[in-house]
């Protein structure tokens, strides 16, 4: 039975920026993302965002500002009938050597601890190989979307790797997740 949905933020829910999302005006929600969150919210399982936010460690933005952005994102999702139950953030600089920065699985482990999850029974939606690597490290199935900065390069890079599902966007991932949830319900 599917236990939770773990979503990367930048490149999955909102457009990823090379200069980081530093304020709400820079939070450009991707087409179809709110509809996907609404679709996923129908499933009675947690929806968590797991996101690297090195802009905090780089002193570009404060943790408080990121928290405020996340509160506003959750409120926007809720206003559209969607839901985000928790945010798990790696605030560290890439050189910090922390255990929570993807491709390490620390954020997924934090979500697992908070919600008592078996990560092999969850699914992560990301837009990069670092997302996939974090999921693979804890045997969490993953779906990659092409809406991040790696975009169409992912398809080329994944040639010959049918084990990594690649879809156009979060809406397409939500459909795969819904189908998987329905299948797992039938086997219980």
The whole-angstrom separation of Cα 134 and Cα 115 is 18
**Catalytic residue of the set 10, 127, 131, 169:** 10
159 — pLDDT class (breaks 50, 70, 90): low
pLDDT at 188 over 70: no
Is 182 among the catalytic positions?
Answer: no
Is 25 among the catalytic positions?
Answer: no
pLDDT at 38 over 60: yes
Mean pLDDT of 18-42: 97
- With 0.95 as the threshold, say if the pTM is over it: no
- Looking at per-residue confidence, does 9 or 186 come out higher? 9
Structural domain containing residue 143: 4-186
165 — pLDDT class (breaks 50, 70, 90): confident
Could you read off the pLDDT of 88-130 as tens digits, one per residue? 999 999 999 999 999 999 999 999 999 999 999 999 999 998 9
Could you read off the pLDDT of 80-96 as tens digits, one per residue? 999 999 999 999 999 99
pLDDT at residue 184, rounded to an integer: 77
The whole-angstrom separation of Cα 147 and Cα 128 is 10
pLDDT averaged over every residue in the chain: 93
The whole-angstrom separation of Cα 106 and Cα 110 is 6
The total number of structural domains that make up the chain: 1
- CATH assignment at residue 67: 3.40.50.1000
Residue given tokens 């009938």 in the structure block: 81
φ and ψ at 6, to 5 degrees?
A: -115, 125
CB 144 within 8 A of CB 164: yes
pLDDT at 161 over 80: no
**63-79 vs 33-41: helix axis angle to the nearest 10?**
70
Q: 42: how many CB neighbours lie within 10 A of its CB? A: 12
pLDDT at 50 over 80: yes
């Amino acid at each position: 039975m599917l236990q939770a949905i773990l979503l990367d933020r930048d490149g999955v829910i909102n457009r990823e920026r090379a200069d980081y999302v530093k304020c709400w005006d820079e939070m450009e929600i991707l087409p179809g993302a709110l509809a996907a969150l609404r679709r996923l919210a129908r499933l009675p399982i947690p929806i968590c965002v797991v996101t690297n936010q090195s802009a905090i460690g780089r002193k570009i933005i404060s943790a408080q500002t990121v928290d405020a952005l996340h509160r506003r994102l959750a409120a926007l999702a809720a206003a559209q009938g969607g839901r985000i139950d928790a945010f798990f953030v790696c605030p560290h600089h890439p050189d910090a050597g922390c255990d929570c920065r993807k491709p390490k699985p620390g954020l997924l482990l934090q979500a697992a601890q908070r919600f008592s999850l078996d990560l092999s029974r969850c699914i992560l939606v990301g837009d990069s190989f670092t997302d996939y690597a974090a999921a693979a490290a804890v045997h969490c199935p993953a779906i990659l979307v092409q809406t991040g900065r790696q975009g169409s390069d992912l398809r080329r890079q994944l040639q010959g790797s049918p084990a990594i599902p690649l879809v156009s966007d979060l809406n397409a991932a939500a459909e795969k997740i819904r189908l998987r949830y329905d299948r797992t319900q039938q086997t219980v």
